[in-house]
Amino acid sequence: MKHIWAPWRIEYVTRPQVEGCVLCAKATAEDDDAEQVLYRGEHNFVVINAFPYNSGHLMVVPYEHTCDFVGLNPDAVAEMMHIAQGCVRALGRCMHPHGVNIGMNIGKAAGAGIDEHIHLHIVPRWDGDTNFMTTCADTRVVPQALEQSACGLRPIIAEELGVNA
């Protein structure tokens, strides 16, 4: 049996389960710091992914609860892309990735973990971030705590998108 020590995750795994859509809960949350909401626009908000692929893994999420990307309000889609651009600039300034993956998994068959509420993933990537742990142990190492990523990115995202933090 393999063990990976990650004591900082206990707060996440022991907190009460959200009833309904976890993204809608974040959309209506009053404590953005606690929910790791980094930015709020008119149609979308930015949140740190609770199950990140890499440190700094962000999601741009429409407030509208929908799984229908094609039917999403065109203003929400335009703002989503504008926010994504600001997030990529912020990641570049704060975390200095060598590249970025941006994409959506629409539907369970496409790999969506939350298929009832669409969201755009923004994943910073570094040369060599797929290492022996991923290759040999089918385990991903995320070296930065979610709160630390959020604290570093929040003011820079606000600055990039023209909002005071």
Reduced to 3 states (helix: H, G, I; strand: E, B; else coil), residue 125 is strand
Q: How many CB atoms lie within 10 A of CB 5?
A: 6
**How many Å apart are CA 107 and CA 77, to the nearest integer?**
18
Instruction: Please pick, among 43, 57, 117, 119, the residue that the annotation labels catalytic.
Output: 119
Pairing of strands 58-62, 99-103: unpaired
Q: How many CB atoms lie within 10 A of CB 94?
A: 18
57 part of the active site: no
Type of residue found at 154: R
Are residues 67 and 117 in contact, defined by beta-carbon separation less than 8 angstroms? yes
Are residues 84 and 102 in contact, defined by beta-carbon separation less than 8 angstroms? yes
Catalytic annotation, residues: 119
